[in-house]
Amino acid sequence: MRTQVTLLLICMISSGALSLQCYPPIYNDTVYRYQGTECTNSCARTTTSVDIYIIGGAAGLALISEDDIMFCGSPEQCVNSSMNIGMVKIANNTQCCRTALCNNKALPAMPQQPTNGKRCYSCNDNDCSRQLRCEGAEDRCITATVTQGVNVMTLKGCTTKNNCNITLLNSHGLIITDVECCEGNLCNDAENFMLSFLLMFVPLLSTVLFY
């Protein structure tokens, strides 16, 4: 009898998990109303902020973009992440919850994090020997290849561990491959750009990397 009760409880819990309703809602043409998306793990919401700095001489220009996204969250997505390559900083402030339609509150952009003592190489124009101070939870140095059409460039900087699992990202005409992360200071050895960063500036802003 105990075994039967235990199995019944497991089935009830599993059934509830499979029917978790999350935003964004899906419009149901049959009953003419909105219903939540069905998620298996949790509901999630993230605010992705993209800071891009164009430096010209002594003057600087900062362009900031924010994107608020609601989605079904898996355990590996329910953490904050950031990547800093010097000219570009991408930060994801993410929150997950496990009750129906609980991801209905907008999150603020992740605030500026203090430097943590780690340093990585980043690229500026044709020089990849610049040293970058990592911030917050950025505990890895990253190197990746970014391709747009026939143009190819090397991306270097600081990142959090959860951005190191990307094997291929293809979005908005940008293909990001050959992602490599390492843990030691300045472990992503300096090498030259294959293309000036500014040729990819506009699509990089619209892509919002890794999300």
* Residue 66 is assigned to a structural domain of this protein: no
Q: Residue 169's domain spans which residues?
A: 113-186
* Residue 126 is assigned to a structural domain of this protein: yes
Answer yes or no: is pLDDT of 42 > 70: yes
For position 182, which CATH number holds? Answer: 2.10.60.10
Assess contact for 178 and 168: CB atoms under 8 A. Answer: no
pLDDT tens-digit series, residues 152-162: 778 899 999 98
* Residue 168 is assigned to a structural domain of this protein: yes
* Residue 145 is assigned to a structural domain of this protein: yes
* Residue 67 is assigned to a structural domain of this protein: no
Q: Any idea which of 51-60, 64-73, 110-119, 174-183 has the lowest mean pLDDT?
A: 51-60
* Residue 182 is assigned to a structural domain of this protein: yes
The whole-angstrom separation of Cα 4 and Cα 14 is: 15
Q: pTM of the predicted model, to two decimals?
A: 0.72
* Residue 120 is assigned to a structural domain of this protein: yes
| Whole-number pLDDT of residue 32 | 59
Query: Which DSSP state fits 19?
Result: T
The whole-angstrom separation of Cα 70 and Cα 84 is: 24
* Residue 181 is assigned to a structural domain of this protein: yes
The whole-angstrom separation of Cα 60 and Cα 53 is: 7
Assess contact for 171 and 146: CB atoms under 8 A. Answer: no
Domain count of the fold of the chain:
1
Query: Which DSSP state fits 87?
Result: S
Does 24 sit behind a cis peptide bond, omega within 30 degrees of 0 on the bond before it?
Answer: yes
